[in-house]
Amino acid sequence: MEKRILIVYAGRYGSTAGVAEAIGQELRHSGAMVEVYPAKDVTEMSSYDAVIVGSAIHFGNWLPEAVKFVERHKEGLSHIPVAYFLTCLDLTRVPEETGRAASIYLDPLLGHPPQAEGRLSVWEKMHLLPSFMNSVRKTAPQVKPVSIGVFRGKLDDSELRLTHRLLIKLGSLFTKRIPEGDFRNWQAIRAWAASLYAVLLQQGRPNVEGRHKNMNTKNTNTNASQEKLPLDYFVFVFALAVPFWLFGGGKLPLPINLPVAALVTFVPMIAAALLSYRQHGLTGVKRLFKKAWDYRNTRQGIWYVPVLFLAPVIYVSSYAVMRLTGLPLPDPITIPVQLAPVLFALFFISDTGEELGWSGYAIDPIQNRWGAVKASLILGVVWAIWHTIPFVQTGNSATWVAWQGLKTVAMRMVIIWLYNKTGKSVFAATLFHTADNVSWSLFPNYGSHYDPFVTGLMTWVAAGIVIIGWGSKTVARYRHAEQAKR
């Protein structure tokens, strides 16, 4: 099962948030389930295997929200692997103290040695790593980080509020150590994050029962609920769809055959938004909607090749199979390519409505429980059942609906594979879904000769290849995680 890592951070001007996201991405690529939140938004953390707390250094100290987070959760944090990271612009580099429990990773380009030998200025003392750690060490001495990463941050004078600008200007009169610019060293940040996966998870998840007993029980158990299967999402997604199914029999004014019930496409997003609101308030909703544009999750652009072109390849091969086997096709065929951009835009909007629910909300808790292959089968079946009414309302035969249902399951498997490969990008899942919808709409003529049996078969071939490659990797990763635990 994938390990769950919580990253919380405190910053004022967004640069620490950016570092937290980059660490999260790197850990996701290593195979962990990662959630990244501002420290002030997190009330509960008992469902995570490890926690990373980050803060910007302002005036030589951690920001208060981060210190408060550690203080609030010190008991729980003392029972699981914890790492800290800091962003700042200066650090006094002295030979490393020995005997520290934490391994320390300093951005190689950060900081200066003391100016005078044997004597530290006030600024230099303030910028020793132990000085940075003072507040948190005092408030939560029992929390022993397994690693501390210290990175250069960013300072943009034009973004600063007036008091901060004045204080920085004043500070600059005495020291030249707070330069303006974006100095974040992504390579160093990612290198630390990559090393962190093993360091954090080697510690395992000790004494879970004891840890839970020690947790602050008055908190609402919001994150633990995400570990459960999203049954409430399934109830919502079906219940909210009923009015569309009952009253949506008419046709939409589009050149392709789509019923009004197709507007049900926004129901998964609505269901996910309502549940996110229930769990995390407005922050949860904002976080959900941000996923619609999470293309930054994808580090290897090459994955956009299957995201964009696998569906067209499936449809072109379907056409070839139909031609070769003499299945009915129109003559001459019409492929309204000029419509493609409009269709793409329309479907991208509607498919975002679907994917924010299925990929953005529902899949991860199921994957956590059962692994990716089983989870995609389960979600695929639910997704296919959910589509049945619109398929019937479009006037299709029972056989057509049955084959289309099977094709839908295979589609979901491919979507989840791409979602996982692109660093859990809902944007990538949506693009693939859009490419599929555009492809069937352009299938000769205006989708009228689309055959779900043939295209379903082709999609299952793609899903089969994915399962064979993916299944073995899932097993390998599981074994690796088990070894790391020992």
Ligand X SMILES: Cc1cc2nc3c(=O)[nH]c(=O)nc-3n(C[C@H](O)[C@H](O)[C@H](O)COP(=O)(O)O)c2cc1C
Residues found near ligand X in the complex (CB under 6 A) = 11-16, 56-60, 87-90, 153-155, 160, 164, 167-168, 178
* Minimum separation from the CB atom of position 396 to ligand X (A): 54
CB atoms within 10 A of CB 213: 11
CB of 63 or CB of 467, closer to ligand X: 63
- DSSP state, 360? I
Contacts of 381 (CB under 8 A, 6+ apart): 409
Contacts of 326 (CB under 8 A, 6+ apart): none
* Minimum separation from the CB atom of position 350 to ligand X (A): 36
* Minimum separation from the CB atom of position 70 to ligand X (A): 17
* Minimum separation from the CB atom of position 112 to ligand X (A): 11
- DSSP state, 241? T
- Cβ-contact 334, 432 below 8 angstroms: no
CB of 12 or CB of 205, closer to ligand X: 12
CB of 160 or CB of 313, closer to ligand X: 160
- Cβ-contact 107, 152 below 8 angstroms: yes
| Neighbouring-strand partners of residue 181 | 155
User: 267-290 and 231-239 helices cross at what angle (nearest 10)?
Assistant: 130
Contacts of 447 (CB under 8 A, 6+ apart): 256, 257, 440, 441
* Minimum separation from the CB atom of position 89 to ligand X (A): 4
- Cβ-contact 82, 146 below 8 angstroms: yes
Burial class of residue 247 (count of CB atoms within 10 Å of its CB; 0-12, 13-18, 19+): exposed
E-state strands within 332-398:
none
CB of 12 or CB of 212, closer to ligand X: 12
Pairing mode, strands 4-10 and 33-38: parallel
Name the token pair of 363: 């899949």
Name the token pair of 96: 């490393």
* Minimum separation from the CB atom of position 90 to ligand X (A): 4
CB of 171 or CB of 447, closer to ligand X: 171
Half-sphere exposure of 90 (CA within 13 A, CB side): 22
CB of 65 or CB of 75, closer to ligand X: 65
- Cβ-contact 71, 140 below 8 angstroms: yes
Pairing mode, strands 61-62 and 154-155: unpaired
Evaluated on CA atoms 134, 199, 73, 282, the torsion sign reads: positive
Omega before 108 within 30 of 0, i.e. cis: no
* Minimum separation from the CB atom of position 149 to ligand X (A): 13
CB of 86 or CB of 435, closer to ligand X: 86
* Minimum separation from the CB atom of position 156 to ligand X (A): 8
| SS3 label, residue 103 | strand
CB of 56 or CB of 372, closer to ligand X: 56
CB of 107 or CB of 436, closer to ligand X: 107
Residue with the closest Cβ to ligand X? 153
Half-sphere exposure of 285 (CA within 13 A, CB side): 9
CB of 11 or CB of 284, closer to ligand X: 11
CB atoms within 10 A of CB 482: 10
Distance in angstroms (rounded) separating the CA atoms of residues 384 and 412: 9
